[in-house]
Chain A
Amino acid sequence: MKNFEYVRPTTVPEAIAAAAKPGAVYLASGTNLLDLMKGGITRPDRLVDVTRLPGLDRIEHLPDGSLRIGALVRNADLAHDSGFARSYPAVAEALLSGASAQLRNAATVGGNLLQRTRCGYFYDTASACNKRAPGTGCDARGGENRLHAVLGWSEACIATHPSDFCVPLVALDAVVEIEGRGGRREIALEAFYRLPGDTPERENLLEPGDLIVALRLPAEARTFAAHARYLKVRERTSYAFAVVSAAAALRVEAGKIRQARLALGGVAAKPWRARAAEETLAGADPTPAAFRRAAEAALADAKPSGDNLFKIELARRIIVRAFTLAAAGTPARIAALPASPFASVSGALQDA
């Protein structure tokens, strides 16, 4: 690991000033950053430790009915907050389906939003990668790419965003609060991420010194609590990134879908909101045929970036399954294997 200067500011303005310099990065828990630094993928000159900044580790209920989650709230604490899991069950399920218990105990909300792709060529410094070293090319294009993007990718980059947490967040219109040199601003999480285009190294809208201080879920997000699921297919049932995942949420009134929300993980460089699919479900009966139509709409623009044509049909089936589970009702307790489409007991139903 390259050496670096370590600084630990005590206020947000000090942190922003310290991180605005070239080569500086923020350190929270470091569960992704240290891994990247050990591999030489990220080589910062200065680490600005934000873990002691005051006031960023709170979960607050705001007067307008929204929920404000401090950037330093740990993934496990958020997922196991009983009020949170009741109001935003798909978000809690997504959190518990990611990483391991040890990592969830350490990893922060803000860090989760900023984790980097797990593309093997991004991680291998001997490979060409436009994201890691702009202009060098993309070895993933002609390489092992069965897990790569099928939506929103470019010739420059076919990597996917690895987060589970961000998928239901995008479906529920989460907003990111950012403090920077120009003061405070907020951006919808969906708009916060950029698609790769010709500049895959620019993954989001953060400017030098910008610090994510909180995440907000609007009041409307909890109106989906009775019918919200996160479903994730992975190559191992636990402690693995998504091949494809979906967050599906419904507001059902008198047996009809009033409103639907859908976002996909593992398919693009950002958590992928599928608004066209949502529109097909407004006013519809919650039937398998309706969910299949929604799935077709969600993947209408999908195309393989390599040996990953299978992910398109897999995504459609995951969408149908996630909506079917959501329509059946959010279970009282998160399943033993969170977000898994596979039963924990042979022959049993997934949520039995």
Chain B
Amino acid sequence: MPELSPPPHQPNVPAPAPPDAAPLPQAGPDEVALVIDDRPVVAKKGTTLLQAAEEAGVLVPHYCYHPGLSIAGNCRMCLVEIEKMPKLQIACATAVAPGMVVRTANDRVRGVRAGIQEFLLINHPLDCPICDQAGECRLQSYESAYGQGYSRFQEDKVHSAKRYDIGRDVKFDAERCIKCTRCIRFCDEVSLSHELALFQRGDHAIIGTFPGRPLDNPYSGCTVDVCPVGALTWKPFRFKSRVWFLKNIPSVCAGCARGCNVDLATFRDRIHRLTPRANPEVNRFWMCDEGRQSYAALYDRPRFESPVERPAPGDSRGARDASAAGPDSPWDTALDRAAALLRGVVERHGAKALAAVVSARLTVEDLYVAKRVLGELLGVPRLAAPPHEAGEDDHLLLRRDKTPNARGAEALGIGAPSSGRVKEILEDAARGGVRGLVVVGEDLTGLPGFSEVLYDRLDALVVIDWWKSPTVDRAHVALPACGYGEFEGTMVNFQGRVQRLRAGLRPHGEADPVWRILRDLGRRFGLANEYATPRAVFEDAAAKVAALSGLSYRALGDLGAPLAAARERFAGAPAPGA
């Protein structure tokens, strides 16, 4: 399963044979009993030797085989010996058969593997020191595990095209390519875009595109993921970090309602790339380019480091410059002021003059605390989340709905993102009906019903967001929140699957996670709960919200779990793109 992580450097020494020859274990009706490296193995009928071996803990090295792609059988690295068959057979394309006796690591097999390694490297530039793949390269891993460690090749290498743009975001180095055709198969079978093909023959064979049709599809980055060597590299990641410095944190992409599982790779407190993490229920092995680069906003958009206050109409205390903070921290004063402003609106106009725009891009934890504090403690009558839509649902992963936690907002009772409800609130604000507005995680600019004039009509505008948006610039109190990668929590994807996002970065400046900012605001309105961690928030939510019942961070694990309502449907749902 961990297809996308580099193969381990394992010496592949066969396990010591049991004292007696392993007897064939009992196999069920849909099963096959066989022996792999003296271990009795029971495998499902129709599985390949490679899969059966892997399940039995025997790693058969391979380049061209990928669990998400068709079988090519061209690298020949997985050749294994099967008793009664004169030639070695490729484990990736050989189905298990009853009574098979397979050897994956005897001298003959190891000799052939070393030979394949030697062949693959004779025309390879051996430029590991300047290759981005180094550290997660199968050629490297397998050479150290199975290679002879030297080459008998003393001729001129075949030279070929180097580091050219084969597509918008992908560079190609034909000299590093081992022609495993994973990238071609990806474009033919998964993205269905068919840009790549092999040209020429023999040791001059080269992957290429057709004239005027570069590699440019919404999933082109996956060709880089499946490339087992450094031939295809992701331009935004080139030369950013050696992979062994990267810390991979299992998380979830927040780019759309799919919620692709990702590894968030960080080094020196910066995200350097997102790569898909296999989850058969959600994204299999893939993710879109848009999601892959979604973290870039973190570095492209302006941030603000600490709370900002501005004068508000009728605010007797006046604004305070955060930098001129007195003995209290700017957070305390800003939160005090936000509470005071909102209280002032309630005193003058009643709670009905309050409204809140919250984002369906926030986590379940954020939204749950928002509901409790704003809805229940402040009595804000209207909480609405705006929809964000772009493009269309496609055949693979991309969703028109760009809010990663719309189902979560729905489950928590905030309601599904609705442009009608947001429009109503903003128009009321422009008319003067709403006097106090709390905006969490959204920029009002461009939302339905938005007009600049509403800023002048508000007595209290409290904004919590991770970046310095135009709305933040107009807020009476703006509170900096954690950006993507800085917070942890859960989101519910469009299938109703609850998945965990994890933090890999320190918060920017004094930024705080939204749920904690809201909790601290809530304390000023009598919130009793401690809510020390997002886990504690989630546990409270799971205890009180029916849709979340029975769920816990532990139950979610790395692959998530369906909402109570979705649990039944999930049972028979096919994997996406299957």
Q: Are the chains A and B members of one assembly? A: no
Interface residues of B (CB under 8 A from A): none
